[in-house]
Amino acid sequence: MEEMVAYCGLVCTQCPAFIATQKDDDSLREKTAAFYAKEYGFTLKPEEINCDGCLPREGRKIGYCATCDIRACGREKELENCAHCQDLPCSKLDAFHNFSTFAKDSFEKIRQSLKQ
Ligand code: SF4
Ligand code: SF4
């Protein structure tokens, strides 16, 4: 499967929610719901773990991703992802990166690769 990198830097194709959805894997949905509850305090049921990734205009998204203003902003600017944005630093992005170190680390790698 081709890699999908979200506007915030998260790699959708490595996300357990995305993988569980695309494989229709109920066991992974259960593990993912338990992980989200433990790590983030989310109260998603396993059957609510359904996501088609950040980039498609349509498709299922869960939790924060269903209403994300980073995604809306990146789409409006027609960017590949926020690493290409001329308006960095960005408070929206920084706030999310304080919450998700996965996204922050991935985003920083993209930024570094653009500088080379
Ligand atoms: S919807 Fe927002 S938080 Fe979710 S992957 Fe996309 S940019 Fe990141
Ligand atoms: S302003 Fe922020 S959220 Fe919008 S595209 Fe730029 S970095 Fe992303």
Spell out the domain ranges in the chain.
10-66, 68-116
Q: What pLDDT, in 10s, does the model give residues 19-57?
A: 999 999 999 999 999 999 998 899 999 999 999 999 999
Q: Which residue has the tokens 């996300």?
A: 15
Ligand nearest to the CA of 75: 2
pLDDT at 63: 84
pLDDT above 70 coverage of the chain, percent: 100
Rg (CA), the chain: 14
- Which of the listed residues 65, 67, 90 should we mutate to test ligand 2's pocket, taking the one with most ligand atoms within 8 A of CB? 90
| Higher pLDDT, residue 54 or 64 | 54
Alpha-carbon span 101 to 93, nearest angstrom? 12
**Distance from the CA of 60 to the center of ligand 1, in angstroms?**
12
∠ CA(29), CA(31), CA(33), 5° rounding? 65
pLDDT at 30: 98
Alpha-carbon span 10 to 14, nearest angstrom? 8
Residue 68 CB–ligand 1 contact under 6 Å: yes
Residue 83 CB–ligand 1 contact under 6 Å: no
> Using an 8 Å Cβ cutoff, are 6 and 12 in contact?
yes
The answer, yes or no, to whether residue 64 has pLDDT greater than 90, is no
